[in-house]
Structure 1
């Protein structure tokens, strides 16, 4: 029984011993598994944390390089300065450079290694990795390369193509040239930014904790990027073939994993874990020597073994029971841990895949979890943010306000309800960025309703908010532009620039974008004077002095000098603005733009607008400011054109009533002036003397000394009349050498006689003219009629004074009186006007009519284009000029003269054609001729009498007379002639009543500009403005233009540079007999100077 009991006890003991031994072995194995699993999980957690930190570090460096890239693209001319500034701002960066597609440095700052592709000492894998970096289109960190400045040091180059910078896509030009930076143009399609750092210190990684733990950074191409602690024999940048790389390549799609085995690089058995770095081609690995795990396992197992051995004898059964219970408990714990791990992994995957940023807190508002998007937006790494109060990481404020806004998490925890952010909320990130966000916070509650934490979800809406602000800016600007357009239309026609400037400033200052506007221009001293202003500070602008010669010019001066738009988006911060900073800040001029308003390409005034918003003047606002400037430019040009047109009209009106040579009133003013004088004489009971006078021997002066001297004589006579006549008297020039004087006052004839004798005596006598001075004797003939003794109409009074003039001219010798009074008996005398007209009619009709022809030069070809027919009458052995007989002809005589001139001119033209000369001829037509119903038929019949002629060889020149040209029958006659090919010309344009605007309704081919616009051109260059205006009008209407009165070489030199088609005058040729025309045209050559300068000038015109 005892042995059996002993046996059973022995068996029991053996059983217990075996069980204890087995339990110990199982416990040791389980302990090893726990240590190994815990270590691998810890290694994976550390690897994940390092992966996040590595990604954040690379992201920060990439963002810094992108900001540098954007600045370089905006201001490529200051590339070197920006590289230097960047290097100063980044203490962890050893050097920064611009490199081309081969990695060669274009511009550099700081210490940089030799370009990897040119460094033959680097291993082929390293150079291949850098070549791949240069081909990459995104940010790329290259493998470490030896730092030749210190043994054992390493450097790494980071590249960022400028094409990857937002807004930096480069399109090559047709010649292959790309962007020009640092003073060079590159044929490659992109450039790269390169920066170098001492490796690995610049990456700022945490050092690995103790226990022999090491960290490894592998590139996706298998090169070793980093190991801490550094490997003793294996250099960086070498291809790896270890256990970690095998595990990675065994699971290419896995984001993390475990590995174990013998590492050849350190010749040790290792246990480790790896995690891929999101968004970057790197894998972070963490490992521990297996030996350290064995030491921990042995230390943990030794104490347990001693305890079991001490208690084995006394508590083997209890130990066995506890062992069984422990087994059950351990299995339950493992199951719980596995469930928690699965939940955590699922939660991590879920949070990482959410596009919104998510932050979870505990019940006290401290951060317990955040996803990668939250890390990116806040700028806080998860390792640093965990455990921090939510207000420390999630710092928000209302847009445009400095005080922070309350975090919605606290309110959600307090109320137990979902809380949304207020509108226009901004997130202030850790790295200084300001993001517009939208978010909401919700509590996490237990089953009993108690809050155990909160979850905050938010996302970035900066782009959408910026689009909204941009749309609002554009809407306001377009509204201001539309209002300004209405203002321009309202004020441009009025010609009041100051009113336009005031209205424009008020409209701009009243818009929602600007708070002030002013317009000014510099005075003679170079100091800007304000012409108009509105808005904040407009009444204090006199405190600010802006000078063109300021060594540090203000923005308005810089815009004026550059002739283009200048802006400043932080005006108070401008150092040049320091003397005016208090004024600027007080009136909230935070952004400013200055643009010159141009006239003929030169600044006329400067427009300055300010805004209370910083950064307002971006590309869209700048473009609209430029459009506003162009709108005001157009208004200024329109005002200038309107003023020029008014001046031309005023000049035209003046010319219609005044003689351009003497500046005396002309024949057109005589009737109205005489009517008014008669009315005053009737009202006052006084006498009125009408004196008609001309200069004796004036034709001889013209013939001997030339028309220029003759013109000076006429001007001298006019000056003597102006200085001699008393107040109330009026002197007029009738044409040629004829003048009329209206004298009022006196009750008796005896009172007027001394006055008449006085001014006549003053006219007579020597006159100094010409250069060199020439003394000429001036004598006059004068006929006077007295009203009311001669109570007639103004026209009859003038004819009676004319009769008296001719009666006075007929008397010669020393007994001739100073003047001749009109006597009614003169109407029947042999020198009466009817007899004179009959005599002139007989001369015209019986062969005493002689035609001379004056050539017209074609300026483009330098050849004679046509000739003008000029009438002469034989009298004894002399030839009468037109001004000696035309005014004596009545309507019948004028019509007869026109018919005979036309017939003779066509006959001469036919003779020239038969001789082989093909030119045109122009004939003057009296206005009365046009009133005949059969005028056009008569002209065409005369042309038909000469088969050699074409209608286009004849030009009819019509005097610009409003009374005739306004008749419908005249327009019909001219239209019929023009339809048959006859050319219609308007003679003496600008010398009569008709407005130039009538030309658009007349069937006219040719404008012949009156010599009044030419006579004083060498001494009065401003007359060129009126001449050019008429020439431009004629060409715009499709008409040929001819300038008459080209009398001197000076006239010819000036007018050769005009846009006229033809030139006529004594400087080209005097009138000549018809038989001399063929030889003259065949031998004509331009004057040497004109011939020399003409073609060059024509090339300049082209």
Structure 2
């Protein structure tokens, strides 16, 4: 009290604010300012300064009153909130909001120069396995380590952000050629591939990267985000641990996927889906012993749509669950019709998609459909691929045991194409394995394929498991498989997939393999193992 107000401005170095105070005094006005000052201990503090003129009885200003309040904590709270609104809480990296601003700034800067900007979408491959096996704390630790490694891979002016989950987005400035981006991607791959040590465990992970370039791929942030995401999807589709630049063809494929997705949603209701069946034949008797169910789609505008095109779309959009249940019901209806007409003695196989397999009520659903159509469980075979089992082996084992207790037959499809088929064959309760057509195709001319097929047959039989060969198209292939005691075959050599009415005819006529297949005189020379 009674001091000259100037001491309140001490250690405040913003000349514009100081000038504002003196201007208010000169004009006998009130001044209300926020000052950033330096405390005597060197710490930065924030103060709110209010200076008010005090008039006498005649209205003449005789002096001023100055009140200064320490608002440092309030300012720090504001700064924390501002930081939280623009940064990821876990890693401290810029979030989506700040990323868009940084990308926009980079684009504006590029417009004034001759270089470009690269937007990279990065996703960790199979990160869910870390969370599932060690918990979210371990997953968070890995994300922190990944964030630190990514920072080390880029320049000071570039941006590394986290989009949530295991997805990171990078903005690379001043990029003049795509091979510079490729070099950075390779650097990221090398950095991420180094082991992570978490909770006493060593983990190796990979990542996939999608890339969109400004200005050639898009002129606004929304388009670049969309195209980088498309490219990331393509990189994953190639088997992961890849980087992929966006191309116009990707956009066309994505538009096709969207179109197919919309059409597929009404396909069941509009009765556009139907089933074909491909026979499985015993190589010891030549008789038909099974039918594999294959879904087909006849669209009124697109015509016959290949399963290769629409099944992946159905998997992504979750429509595969509805389609899978429709296939099961329709197959059971056809089975009931054949049974009622006295046509029995064979199983019908239905493929189970990854999404269906993860349904905890799968066994209950199947049991209900079988009971509804009065079908014995042993007449149904479920075909499951190795990729389905890879996602969670403990859960997979529990589901398979449930299905086995129900009484259905279990087949491991596309056997030999994955990395862990042997362990799956031993661990899980399969009744049948199907040798993938890629091994059968050259079985009579390629010694390696012949050796692999013989090994699969021998190993499966030692475990009490039957073997089916897929894609058998020639008599020579059929002879080879019979000679080496493969149990069953499936392929165009016996029959292509047929609609139910033609299958009925085939069953009534009791079509079987040609008699010459069983002739002792039919001797064929096969390549020796180790040949080329």
Question: Aligning the two structures, in what range does the TM-score lie when normalised by the shorter sequence?
Answer: 0.5 to 0.7
Sort the Cα spacing of 1:689 and 1:790 in 2 relative to 1 into closer, same or farther, 3 A.
farther
8 Å contact kept, 2:281–2:512: no
After TM superposition, give the deviation of residue 980 of structure 1 in Å. 2.4
Over residues 522-581 of structure 1, what are the superposed CA-to-partner deviations in whole Å (9 max), with x where a residue is unaligned?
xxxxxxxxxxxxxxxxxxxxxxxxxxxxxxxxxxxxxxxxxxxxxxxxxxxxxxxxxxxx
- State whether structure 2 residue 464 is matched by structure 1 residue 1038: yes
Deviation at 1:1045, TM superposition (A): 1.0
For residues 465-509 of structure 1, give each alpha carbon's deviation from its aligned partner in whole angstroms, at most 9, with x where no partner exists.
Answer: xxxxxxxxxxxxxxxxxxxxxxxxxxxxxxxxxxxxxxxxxxxxx
Q: Which residue of 1 aligns with 2:228?
A: 791
Give ranges in structure 1 of 5+ residues lacking alignment.
Answer: 1-669, 673-678, 691-727, 729-741, 751-785, 802-818, 1098-1102
Determine which of 946, 961, 964 is the counterpart of 2:387: 961
Q: Does 1:865 align with 2:289?
A: yes
Find the aligned partners of 2:359 and 2:482 in 1 and give their Cα distance.
39
Q: CA deviation at 1:910?
A: 1.0
Distance 1:747 1:892 in 2: 33
Query: Using the alignment, how far apart are the partners of 2:473 and 2:179 within structure 1?
Result: 40
Matches within 5 A, 1:494-513: none
Give the whole-Å Cα distance in 1 for the aligned partners of 2:400 and 2:453: 26
Q: Judging changes above 3 Å, is the alpha-carbon distance between structure 1 residues 978 and 746 closer, same or farther for their aligned structure 2 residues?
A: closer
Matched, 1:887 2:315: no
Assess if the C-alpha contact under 8 Å between 1:955 and 1:984 holds in 2.
yes
Question: Once the 2 structures are TM-superposed, how far is the Cα of residue 671 of structure 1 from its aligned partner?
Answer: 9.1
CA distance in 2, matches of 1:787, 1:1085: 58
Deviation of 1:880 (Å): 2.2
C-alpha distance in 2, partners of 1:821/1:689? 23
1:779-802 C-alpha deviation (Å, 9 max, x unpaired): xxxxxxx9999433854355999x
Q: Is the 8 A contact 2:210 2:230 kept in 1?
A: no
> Within 1, Cα distance between the matches of 2:237 and 2:357?
29
Is the Cα contact below 8 Å between 2:443 and 2:450 reproduced in 1?
yes
Out of 263, 268, 292, the residue aligned to residue 839 of structure 1 is 263
Given the two structures, how large is their TM-score scaled by the length of structure 1?
Answer: 0.26
Q: Which of 136, 153, 178 matches 1:687?
A: 178
What's the offset of the Cα at 1:950? 1.1
Aligned partner of 1:980 in structure 2 is: 406
Q: Secondary structure at the match of 1:1078?
A: helix
Choose which of 480, 492, 500 in structure 2 pairs with 1:1054: 480
Cα distance change on mapping 1:1048 and 1:880 into 2, 3 Å = farther
What's 1:1008 paired with?
434
Secondary structure (helix, strand or coil) at the match of 1:957 reads: strand
* Alignment match, 2:358: 931
Bigger Rg, structure 1 or 2: 1
Pairs within 5 Å for 1:64-213: none
- Unpaired runs of 5+ in structure 2? 1-122, 126-152, 155-169, 187-208, 218-222, 239-246, 525-532
- CA positional deviation for 1:901: 0.6
User: Aligned partners of 2:237, 2:391: CA distance in 1, in Å?
Assistant: 30
**Corresponding residue SS for 2:446:** coil
Structure 1 segment 226-375 matched on structure 2, within 5 A: none
Q: Aligned pair in 2 of structure 1 residues 1017, 793: CA closer, same or farther (>3 Å)? A: same
CA separation in 2, counterparts of 1:992 and 1:684?
A: 42
Q: 1:1005 to 1:745 in 2, by over 3 A?
A: same
Q: CA deviation at 1:1012?
A: 1.1
C-alpha distance in structure 2 between counterparts of 1:1094 and 1:683, whole Å: 74
Residue 993 of structure 1 deviates from its aligned partner by: 3.8
Q: Which residue of 1 aligns with 2:144?
A: none
User: For 1:1092 and 1:1048, how far apart are their aligned partners in 2?
Assistant: 16
> In the aligned structure 2, how far is the partner of 1:1043 from the partner of 1:896?
29
> Would the alpha carbon gap of residues 1034 and 821 (structure 1) be closer, same or farther in structure 2, given more than 3 Å must change?
closer
- Three-state SS of the structure 2 residue aligned to 1:1047 is coil
Structure 2: distance between partners of 1:689 and 1:846: 51
Counterpart position of 2:280: 856
- State the SS of the aligned residue for 2:285: coil
**Structure 1 ranges of 4+ moved more than 6 A:** 679-684, 742-748, 786-789, 1094-1097
Measure the CA separation in 1 of the matches of 2:389 and 2:413: 15
Q: C-alpha separation between the residues in 2 aligned to 1:888 and 1:972?
A: 28
Q: Work out whether residues 962 and 993 of structure 1, in 8 Å CA contact, stay in contact via their aligned partners in 2.
A: no
Partners of 2:446 and 2:248 lie apart in 1 by 39
In structure 2, the CA distance between the partners of 1:792 and 1:1034, relative to structure 1 (3 Å rule), is same
Shift of 1:689: 13
Measure the CA separation in 2 of the matches of 1:790 and 1:1053.
51
Which SS does the other structure have where 2:366 is aligned?
Answer: helix
Specify the alignment match of 1:820 in structure 2: 248
Look up the match of 1:951: 377
Instruction: Give, in angstroms, the shift of residue 1075 of structure 1.
Output: 1.1
Query: Deviation per CA, 1:844-891, whole angstroms, max 9, x where unpaired?
Result: 343111100000010111101101000000123843221121122225
Conserved? CA contact 1:974–1:1003, under 8 Å: yes
Q: 1:683 to 1:966 in 2, by over 3 A?
A: farther
Question: Which of 1058, 1061, 1080 matches 2:506?
Answer: 1080
Aligned pair in 2 of structure 1 residues 845, 992: CA closer, same or farther (>3 Å)? farther
How high is the TM-score relative to the length of structure 2?
A: 0.53
Q: Which residue of 1 aligns with 2:367?
A: 940
State whether structure 2 residue 516 is matched by structure 1 residue 1092.
no
Residue equivalent to 1:348: none
2: CA distance, partners of 1:689 / 1:1050:
53
Q: Secondary structure at the match of 1:844?
A: coil
Give the conservation status (yes or no) of the 8 Å contact 2:278–2:496: yes
Secondary structure at 2:336 match in 1 = helix
Indicate the residue corresponding to 1:1063 in structure 2: 489
CA shift, 1:900, in A, is 0.6
